[in-house]
Amino acid sequence: MSSTAIPKRVALNRMQTTDSSVASSASVSPMESPRQSPSSTSLSSMASEVEPRRTKMLDTYGNEFEIPNYTIKDIRDAIPPHCFERSAATSLYYVARDFALLGATFYLFHNYVTPETVPYLPARVVLWGLYSVLQGLFGTGVWVLAHECGHQAFSPSKKLNDTVGWICHSALLVPYFSWKISHGKHHKATGNLARDMVFVPKTREEYASRIGKAAHELSELMEETPIATACNLVLQQLFGWPMYLFTNVTGHNNHERQPEGRGKGKKNGYFTGVNHFNPSSPLYEAKDAKLILLSDLGLFITLAVLYYIGTNFGWQNLLVWYGLPYLWVNHWLVAITYLQHTDPTLPHYEPEVWNFARGAAATIDREFGFIGRELLHGIIETHVLHHYVSTIPFYHADEASEAIKKVMGKHYRTEAHTGPLGFLKAMWTSFRMCQWVEPTEGAEGESKGVLFFRNRNGLGVPPAKIAK
């Protein structure tokens, strides 16, 4: 059994000190393997005689952190060869299954949840609310399959992958090729504060600037009220996804320094800035223009169909049939991706300290039960593996995940033991605890380039005290 990097929960211990008595991530946990992790020895024969100078690093809970020292080759070599095999027939079956679930649900509710069959209005409202939740889950499953297409994990055929991905994502108002390109950049630079494209946390200075304070004041501020936290969380869940598409809101804003992209003035923004709809957006190269236009065409077709339905069957019906499920899809998409990359145990790296193996390990697996594994195709439960080898199809991901745990050892992070309720609870915990990132107080050498979440709510390790 693999180990977890969360041996001891101290999330609710307010303003914990950073002394040496804090539990180390190497401490024995219920999931700790008594066997020495290969991750501690795989590079020993190749280690430089002069190791980078490091000091103690503490995550938000106060667990001592160690930088991963295995290689991508170690990871790939551990995965059974058949896990890399992709089957078009298997993947198409799941697409057909998910669309069948969408169609059957609509048929049942449209024909059997009517004023004639259910005359009591409040009952109909509740039932159609249930409809929106179910369709949102099934729609998210379709989104995940299109995500497989974008990573070429759907089948060996790039043409089939992109065709299915374009159809599925367009139906959900997602610009397939535009997203595919930017998402690929996210995978190439996960955990890199200067280059990652999604859920890049604010630094201490950025967070302080956003709330109109000086960086040194953050450790002295009163805590954020739970009501304010709840409001911000709701706004993220409702508008996070469209704002990312329109403004790259959670991505980095260092486009001028990136080798990819084009043009001057590479700033996050609307149609003249970094967005996913304009072929001349700084995100893309000139060679990408046709693909961006094809993505836009897919959205135009879907919007035209929706307009036809609204004008012929009623806009209120369209809201219930498509609009509310669409919001549920957005909610699940944001919740899943946010919790894959935001947790009190996760590090982020400055560019000079980052490498691909370290960045891919700065993600976390969780558990969402039947819904996660069957309806959402395991995207929640096997995300760490996905960042190491994104071309492995989801139906081989569990086996491949078990294989890489033997290499990652204590560097593999999971919250699977908390179950579905733990997944939902983690949204609140992470939103309260993960407000900005900074190095551990007193860090020197390479450790200064490894940043961890801190917060103004007095939870976990306190922010560093810095001079005015």
- Mean pLDDT of the region 386-395: 97
Q: How far apart are CA 54 and CA 202, in angstroms?
A: 24
Quote the mean pLDDT of the chain.
86
- Tell me the CA distances in angstroms from 47 to 21, 39, 53, one per residue in order: 29, 13, 14
Assign 338 a pLDDT band (cuts: 50, 70, 90): very high
The per-residue pLDDT for range 286-313, each reduced to its tens digit, is 899 999 999 999 999 999 999 999 999 9
203: three-class secondary structure by DSSP:
strand
Percent of the chain with pLDDT over 90: 70
Here the tokens at position 355 are: 């490498």
Q: How far apart are CA 365 and CA 367, in angstroms?
A: 7
The per-residue pLDDT for range 430-444, each reduced to its tens digit, is 999 999 999 999 999
Which DSSP state fits 125?
H
The confidence score (pLDDT) of residue 14 equals 38
The confidence score (pLDDT) of residue 270 equals 55
For the chain, give every domain's residue range: 74-247+288-431
Assign 273 a pLDDT band (cuts: 50, 70, 90): low
Assign 93 a pLDDT band (cuts: 50, 70, 90): very high
Assign 262 a pLDDT band (cuts: 50, 70, 90): low
The confidence score (pLDDT) of residue 89 equals 98
Of 122-126, 145-149, 181-185, 258-262, the poorest mean pLDDT is in 258-262
Here the tokens at position 260 are: 């990819």
Assign 275 a pLDDT band (cuts: 50, 70, 90): confident
Cβ contacts of 280 within 8 Å, gap of 6 or more: 262, 263, 289
- Mean pLDDT of the region 94-112: 98
The confidence score (pLDDT) of residue 356 equals 96
The more confidently predicted of residues 375 and 252 is 375
Contact in structure between 201 and 436 (CB atoms under 8 Å) = yes
Q: How far apart are CA 212 and CA 289, in angstroms?
A: 39
pLDDT of 361 over the 60 cut: yes
The confidence score (pLDDT) of residue 258 equals 59
The per-residue pLDDT for range 400-456, each reduced to its tens digit, is 999 999 999 999 999 999 999 999 999 999 999 999 999 999 999 999 999 999 999
Assign 221 a pLDDT band (cuts: 50, 70, 90): confident
Contact in structure between 434 and 344 (CB atoms under 8 Å) = yes
The per-residue pLDDT for range 181-212, each reduced to its tens digit, is 999 989 999 999 988 888 889 999 989 988 88
Percent of the chain with pLDDT over 70: 84
The confidence score (pLDDT) of residue 218 equals 85
The confidence score (pLDDT) of residue 272 equals 59
pLDDT of 102 over the 60 cut: yes
The more confidently predicted of residues 40 and 388 is 388
Start-end of H helices in 216-348: 226-247, 289-313, 315-318, 324-341
Assign 156 a pLDDT band (cuts: 50, 70, 90): very high
The confidence score (pLDDT) of residue 253 equals 64
Helix 121-150 vs helix 158-171: crossing angle, to nearest 10: 150
Q: How far apart are CA 463 and CA 453, in angstroms?
A: 9
Q: Which residue has the tokens 């049939």?
A: 321
> Residue 343's closest CA among 215, 460, 186, 224?
460
pTM, whole model, 2 decimals? 0.85
The more confidently predicted of residues 133 and 257 is 133
